[in-house]
């Protein structure tokens, strides 16, 4: 259909003029303010710049009910996703209907004002069922709805004062009207948009090439850099990957722009939403592939939506959306023909080899430092991903010794540090109990509260070291299992946590009494002494348990090294 041409006239924004904004900003300082969440900042940006046109603010209760039930605003306009301002009960209670509030970013900058016309307590389970298909917290947006979003929704029109501030990739961000102006300037009248939240590999490039050819259109690569599915590759890494891939496209027909959208992973409804957003950005065509905006598996281990449900729903509404769908089946690599083909169009299927690498398999190969073939991705992309996800033997990690006073933790930790420094491949920091109590926790004693504070400080420092690729060796008593678990969770976001229980018995520690403290504890001269007058939770599942009785320090440290090697944390010699 060659009649589909973009109308590139500017679309309405919610911003007031620069002069009015300066004035409004001063006045807004006297209003009650709501500190926007990261997701609300994304939503507000697209409300204000026309990305969510025709919305004029956060949904009223009537609009919300209609969107949830019928995918439409109260006036009948197609709108699939509730854009709501969720707040706490306390904040909502203090407001009058008709009152203006200031909407601030997380640093306190006033971005907009909103007149509160509506306030209600939504039925979140109904929202989950209708919008996301199931009230199941395995769905990231349902989980957000129940566990992150406030209890009360506010609705009302928004007056935009300024755009949210971005410090990264500024030259790559465009409002809908900036993109429209760019297309006008270049004389582009047919534009196909490609939405993505993943790094681009060869299959995506082939898909976008084909889409542009089929639609006889220019190509806009329009990746989401707002919020995507938890666990996705961070947008910094992805944008560097996109920039590398952009060189492989003809510059005269392809451009890239970053979209600060907070995705909901709502599959079919989300695809319709994405279409509306791209129409607002001046595009005429939109690519919908397999499992568009899919949230993964539900709590029964099944897919929330069928792989082509999004295409079906989009097809049903595409005239109303005002953008044409370019649908694709999954692209797979046909080895004999050395090219990508849609999975449903493979000729001579019985006699060819079909290759594919899943996201899970890709992550495994990165983790283990295994080959990623050229047919799958571009060397520049693989290099970026390898830099971001080095194999375990190049990642940071933490070795966390725990045990009684005098069990030998410090001595073994020291020996381990020296051995790791001899190897020299990563920087090492020793956070020994006494060192920490001198430098980080000098004001703390040995109550449960103080011990927990002490361990959490150690955990925080170790997590920073781990995040930045170093080795942290900790050697406190750390008597409480719950606190050790919390530290483990904090560190495991960034690298391995290796718990080593130095299992020297209390009798042996007391017999050695290297600092003379056990004697004083027995005499009651030291209170709350671990093992004597204070508890110690024996670790149930440490990565390693070492017994120091009858074993020398060097051997103990060597056992730890062997453990690290077997976990892939240090390269075998
Ligand atoms: S904790 O519980 O993890 O915060 O303890 P930690 O920071 O490792 O500090 C333990 C060292 O402090 C000395 N000390 C005591 N230990 C236990 N209980 C009491 N009441 C106490 N008072 C002083 C003791 O020498 C510990 O040193 P290590 O190196 O473990 O022998």
Element (H or E) spanning 205, and its range? helix 202-215
pLDDT at 329: 86
pTM value is 0.86
| Edge-to-edge order in the sheet of strand 471-475 | 428-432, 471-475, 397-402, 496-502, 544-546
Question: Which stretch of 39-48, 265-274, 380-389 has the lowest confidence by average pLDDT?
Answer: 380-389
pLDDT at 251: 87
3-state secondary structure at position 327: strand
Q: How far apart are the first and last CA of the chain?
A: 64
Question: Which stretch of 80-84, 140-144, 225-229, 330-334 has the lowest confidence by average pLDDT?
Answer: 330-334
- State the average pLDDT over residues 492-517: 96
**Residue among 450, 477, 515 to mutate when testing ligand 1 (max atoms within 8 A of CB):** 477
Q: CB of 515 within 8 A of CB of 404? A: no
CA–CA separation, 473 and 457 (whole Å): 14
Identify any residues that bridge with 288 across adjacent strands, giving them in sequence order.
327
Decide which of 133 and 434 is more confident: 133
Two tokens, residue 342: 């849609």
List, in sequence order, every beta strand (DSSP E) within 437-541: 471-475, 496-502
Please check the confidence at residue 79 and state whether its pLDDT lies above 70.
yes
The protein residue with its alpha carbon nearest to ligand 1, atom 9, reads 433
CA-closest candidate to residue 526, choices 442, 405, 436: 405
The protein residue with its alpha carbon nearest to ligand 1, atom 5, reads 477
Two tokens, residue 322: 């005002």
Predicted confidence band of residue 2 (pLDDT cuts 50, 70, 90): low
Q: Is 521 exposed, middle or buried (0-12, 13-18, 19+ CB in 10 A)?
A: buried
CA of 405 to the centre of ligand 1 (A): 6
CA–CA separation, 434 and 458 (whole Å): 12
CA of 551 to the centre of ligand 1 (A): 23
Active site residues: 196-198
- State the average pLDDT over residues 422-442: 94
CA of 488 to the centre of ligand 1 (A): 20
- State the average pLDDT over residues 55-71: 98
Ligand 1 atom closest to residue 436's alpha carbon, by position in its atom list: 7
CA of 530 to the centre of ligand 1 (A): 8
CA of 515 to the centre of ligand 1 (A): 11
CA-closest candidate to residue 46, choices 33, 35, 31, 56: 56
Q: Is the dihedral of CA 529, 531, 533, 534 positive or negative?
A: positive
What is the pLDDT of the chain when averaged over all its residues? Answer: 96
Ligand 1 atom closest to residue 451's alpha carbon, by position in its atom list: 4
**Residue among 406, 433, 499 to mutate when testing ligand 1 (max atoms within 8 A of CB):** 433
Enumerate residues lining ligand 1, CB below 6 A: 405-406, 410, 433-434, 437, 446, 451, 454-455, 476-479, 515, 517, 526, 528-530, 534
CA-closest candidate to residue 88, choices 45, 44, 32, 130: 32
Please check the confidence at residue 200 and state whether its pLDDT lies above 80.
yes
pLDDT at 1: 59
pLDDT at 395: 93
Please check the confidence at residue 573 and state whether its pLDDT lies above 60.
no
Please check the confidence at residue 155 and state whether its pLDDT lies above 90.
yes
Q: Complex ipTM, two decimals?
A: 0.93
The protein residue with its alpha carbon nearest to ligand 1, atom 20, reads 529
Ligand 1 atom closest to residue 402's alpha carbon, by position in its atom list: 3
pLDDT, tens only, 354-412: 999 988 899 889 888 899 999 999 999 999 999 999 989 999 999 999 999 999 999 99
Predicted confidence band of residue 231 (pLDDT cuts 50, 70, 90): confident
Decide which of 175 and 330 is more confident: 175
The protein residue with its alpha carbon nearest to ligand 1, atom 25, reads 405
């Amino acid at each position: 259909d060659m009649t589909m041409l973009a109308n590139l006239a500017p679309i309405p924004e919610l911003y007031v003029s620069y002069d009015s904004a300066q004035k409004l900003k001063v006045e807004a300082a006297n209003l009650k303010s709501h500190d926007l969440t990261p997701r609300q900042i994304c939503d507000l940006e697209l409300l204000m710049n026309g990305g969510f046109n025709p919305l004029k603010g956060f949904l009223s209760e009537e609009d919300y009910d209609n969107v949830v039930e019928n995918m439409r605003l109260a006036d009948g306009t197609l709108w699939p996703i509730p854009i709501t301002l969720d707040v706490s009960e306390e904040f909502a209670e203090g407001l009058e209907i008709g009152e203006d509030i200031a909407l601030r970013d997380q640093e306190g900058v006033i971005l907009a004002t909103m007149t509160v016309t509506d306030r209600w307590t939504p039925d979140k389970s109904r929202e989950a069922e209708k919008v996301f298909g199931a009230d199941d917290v395995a769905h990231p947006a349902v989980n957000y709805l129940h566990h992150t979003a406030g209890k009360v929704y506010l609705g009302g029109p928004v007056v935009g004062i300024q755009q949210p501030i971005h410090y990264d990739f500024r030259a790559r961000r465009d409002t809908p009207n900036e993109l429209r102006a760019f297309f006008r300037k270049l004389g582009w009248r047919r534009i196909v948009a490609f939405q993505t939240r993943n790094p681009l590999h060869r299959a995506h490039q082939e898909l976008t090439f084909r889409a542009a050819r089929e639609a006889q259109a220019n190509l806009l690569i329009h990746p989401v850099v707002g919020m995507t599915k938890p666990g996705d590759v961070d947008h910094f890494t992805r944008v560097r990957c996109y920039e590398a891939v952009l060189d492989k496209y003809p510059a005269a027909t392809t451009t890239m722009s970053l979209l600060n959208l907070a995705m909901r992973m709502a599959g079919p409804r989300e695809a319709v939403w994405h279409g509306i957003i791209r129409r607002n950005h001046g595009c005429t065509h939109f690519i919908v592939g397999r499992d568009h905006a899919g949230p993964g598996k539900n709590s029964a281990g099944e897919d929330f939506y069928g792989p082509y449900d999004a295409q079906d729903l989009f097809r049903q509404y595409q005239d109303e959306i005002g953008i044409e769908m370019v649908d694709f089946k999954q692209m797979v690599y046909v080895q004999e023909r050395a090219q990508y083909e849609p999975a449903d169009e493979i000729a001579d299927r019985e006699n060819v080899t079909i290759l594919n690498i899943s996201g899970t398999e890709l992550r495994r190969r990165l983790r283990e430092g295994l080959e990623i073939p050229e047919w799958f991705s571009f060397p520049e992309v693989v290099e970026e991903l390898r830099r971001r996800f080095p194999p375990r033997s190049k990642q940071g990690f933490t070795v966390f010794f725990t045990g009684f006073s005098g069990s030998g933790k410090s001595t073994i930790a020291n020996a381990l540090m020296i051995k790791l420094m001899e190897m020299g491949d990563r920087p090492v920091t020793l956070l020994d109990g006494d060192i920490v109590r001198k430098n980080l926790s000098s004001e703390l004693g040995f109550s449960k509260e103080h011990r927990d504070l002490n361990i959490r400080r150690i955990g925080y420092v170790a997590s920073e070291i781990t995040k930045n690729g170093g080795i942290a060796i900790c050697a406190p008593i750390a008597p409480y299992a719950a606190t050790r678990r919390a530290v483990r969770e904090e560190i495991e976001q960034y690298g391995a946590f290796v718990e080593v229980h130095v299992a020297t018995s209390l009798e042996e520690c007391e017999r050695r009494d290297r600092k003379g403290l056990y004697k004083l504890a027995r005499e009651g001269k030291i209170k709350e002494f671990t093992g004597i007058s204070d508890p110690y939770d024996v670790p149930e599942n440490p990565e390693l348990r070492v017994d120091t009785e009858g074993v020398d320090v060097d051997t103990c440290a060597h056992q730890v090294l062997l453990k690290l090697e077997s976990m892939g944390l240090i390269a075998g010699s």
